[in-house]
Structure 1
Amino acid sequence: MAVADWLAALDRRAALRAKAGLTRRLHPRAAGDDVVDLAGNDYLGLATHPEVVAAAARALSAYGLGATGSRLVRGSTDAHHALEDALAGWLGTDRALVFSSGYLANVGAVRALVRPRTLLVSDAHNHASLIDGCRVSGAETVVTPHADVTAVAAALAAAPGRPAVVVTESVFSVDGDLAPLARLHATAREHGALLLVDDAHALGVTGPAGAGAVAAAGLAGEPDVVLTATLSKALGGAGGVVAGPAEFVRHLVETARTFIYDTALPPAVAAGVHAAVGLARTRDDLRADLSRRAALAVRRLRAAGLDVSTPDAAVVSVTAPGPEAATGWAAACRDRAVAVGCFRPPSTPDSRSRLRLTISAGVSQAEFERALEVIVECAP
């Protein structure tokens, strides 16, 4: 194919996406803008906390801008190892391993859990990183209806004697609902399967001392449970973590391509996240405030006649009439200095488009209530 034909084909595909209301655009933000942020994932407001910024600044001065190599070459620093020890202690696992992103952590974890003949049983609402992990692994994958433990049990029962892994989020990223983790674990254990839980939207927000939904379900440290999370949400930084049995973490270090062949997380980020972990463990007051605000958002938006999810953490989903309506709604809010998430197919696991509100303790109560008014007034 000639270059001109290739570029023309890309233009045609872009036109089709635009016609379907699926165009995506970048919206750069300035430092310190006055937008009320209900789109980012800084749940506890730690991204700009003075202790977090100071810890990152000290490491930046000590180590420089980047890690300068992969973790197995020169990229492992004292900052990385201190963070991993802190995460393992908080999560109640043998060990934790830090990756440069939550996406790479999920892809690496799924792939590392696969053996010959492994069956992966994946929830229909799982995040793209888990879906891609299943695809990259090459293992047979059965996608079960959302949060349907009976369907998971049936999929496992249909593959007796095969190694299997049940793959789920804890708090799902689209609608903010909580997976039935205790029941999923009991079902997986009954069939000799492992349970992989992406705790990204629960870590820091739920559970004892904010240790997440896995800990809240009483599954912390169970030998047949592997936990993943991103460090870019409630901890306000970047990177990802896989936590579980020491034997599995050793296996990751020695075999996970998304760990071995990737430049390490910058030490300054690792140090900042380490400080954030220490703060997050002590802030039950912020977690209680997030819960109150989520309940307030549901009441206000439902009172306005909007279709709103029932949140189990700090994610509130509002159904939009369609993709174009969702993008127009989000743009109208942005014009009034309120940032909201806009989810459309294929980012949603069904045909519905949504606004997604992520509640942050870094937003004042007055700003939060004004943002809710703007969302209602801009509704299509």
Structure 2
Amino acid sequence: MSGWLAALDRRAALRAKAGLTRRLRPRAGTDSVVDLAGNDYLGLARHPTVTAAAGAALTGYGLGATGSRLVRGSTDLHAILESTLADWLGTGAALVYSSGYLANLGAIRALVRPRTLLVCDAHNHASLIDGARLSGAQTVVTAHADPAAVDAALAAAPGRPAVVVTESVFSVDGDLAPLPDLYTVTSRHGALLLVDDAHALGVTGPAGAGAVAAAGLAGRPDVVVTATLSKALGGAGGVVAGPEPLIRHLVDTGRTFVYDTALPPAVAAGVLAAARLARAGDDLRAELADRATTAVRRLRAAGLAVSDPAGGVLSITAPGPEAAVAWAAACLDRDVAVGCFRPPSTPDTRSRLRLTVNTGVPRADFDRALDIVVECA
């Protein structure tokens, strides 16, 4: 075997010894497993209005966008989706990407100037971490959800341009960033605030407009919002929303936008339909909140350590990576899918099961799935 392949085998063996092997588990379209692992919070991925819109666009536009947005990839559906998202989020403009990951990379790079300081929460998503690394800017990682630590980091670099980067609802534990306090700090230091609202869009805020809107920060000129379109909206893609000059800058210079094939029109059509349903979906958000509260109560009653969810994400502490894998596998053997998070996917040394609320799952199945999670612990 070639030396480099042997080295990869040795590294794989070390990961296996540490309980960090990952496996792909293909599922069929007719899969009957109760889904407490995906991010389809409002159950819109299979909503008939959403799939009908996507199907019509598939017939009209074909499978893919056939090019980047600046060549042939922009359609009227992309333009309508962007104006809809900007109006919903309360920003001057919005730009749609083919993934939330690329949206975060592009947004961070666009905000970095010479001498820019990036201040990042320790629990930020990998896309935000990678965006900071690829930007080349000096990065300070602060304690999780700690405005005082952010204040100290900014105070230590007076006069430098700075961007504070955080999630709103954090993707691992599902807790909420202290956005009003963070904005007070960034305003005092003249810094920008970049908020990844991926797990809040559609789930929290007025008409589901997200945590930034809930904090009263929508449309502020020194706040930039990113989000994925693959969670509560049940589709794919990402968005950067903020002042119009930022969006113009991204169109002109953003490499993850300029050089990437556009989001397929059928997906844009489906997400557009989902966004309209989510905006009017206060009943779905009420059901999601009720299920999250129920899950925390029942899991804690069984003696499990559970996070306090701000949206549809909650995590349960596992004894270690091997135990988390075994626990998740036992649940799947009983037709319940749960997330299994281990280092390095977790921002600390804890392994967890991550449960996500999907209001598209029948309530009886959801309740039964909670019982199975407890029984398999």
Give me the TM-score of the superposition, normalised by structure 1.
0.99
Say yes or no: does 1:198 pair with 2:196: yes
Query: Equivalent of 2:280, from 262, 279, 282?
Result: 282
Alignment of 1:90-239 (within 5 A): 90-239=88-237
Partner of 2:295: 297
Tell me the CA shift for residue 5 of structure 1. 1.0
Partner of 2:76: 78
Cα distance in structure 1, aligned partners of 2:60 and 2:184: 47
Cα distance in structure 1, aligned partners of 2:273 and 2:371: 35
1:325 is paired with a residue of what secondary structure? Answer: helix
Partner of 1:374: 372
Amino acid at match of 1:152: V
Q: Deviations over 1:42-84 (max 9, x none)?
A: 0000000011001111111111000000001110001100100
Tell me the CA shift for residue 32 of structure 1. 2.0
Amino acid at match of 1:181: L
Amino acid at match of 2:160: R
What percent identity do the matched residue pairs reach? Answer: 78
Cα distance in structure 1, aligned partners of 2:330 and 2:13: 23
1:341 is paired with a residue of what secondary structure? Answer: strand
Cα distance in structure 1, aligned partners of 2:308 and 2:274: 28
Query: Equivalent of 2:347, from 341, 344, 349?
Result: 349
Tell me the CA shift for residue 182 of structure 1. 0.7
Q: Deviations over 1:177-210 (max 9, x none)?
A: 0000011011001000000000000000000000
Tell me the CA shift for residue 257 of structure 1. 0.6
Amino acid at match of 1:311: P
Query: Equivalent of 1:22, from 20, 23, 38?
Result: 20
Unaligned 5+ runs, structure 2: none
Amino acid at match of 2:290: R
Equivalenced residue count is 377
Tell me the CA shift for residue 4 of structure 1. 1.1
Partner of 1:63: 61
Partner of 2:244: 246
Amino acid at match of 1:114: V
Amino acid at match of 1:233: K
Amino acid at match of 2:188: E
Q: Deviations over 1:315-373 (max 9, x none)?
A: 01000000000000000000000000000000000000000001011111100110000
Amino acid at match of 1:169: E
Cα distance in structure 2, aligned partners of 1:133 and 1:283: 32
Cα distance in structure 2, aligned partners of 1:34 and 1:262: 35
Partner of 1:272: 270
After TM superposition, what 4+ stretches of structure 1 lie above 2 angstroms from structure 2?
A: none
Query: Equivalent of 1:42, from 36, 40, 43?
Result: 40
Tell me the CA shift for residue 28 of structure 1. 0.4
Cα RMSD between the aligned structures?
0.6
Cα distance in structure 1, aligned partners of 2:87 and 2:139: 32
Cα distance in structure 2, aligned partners of 1:85 and 1:318: 38
Amino acid at match of 1:63: Y
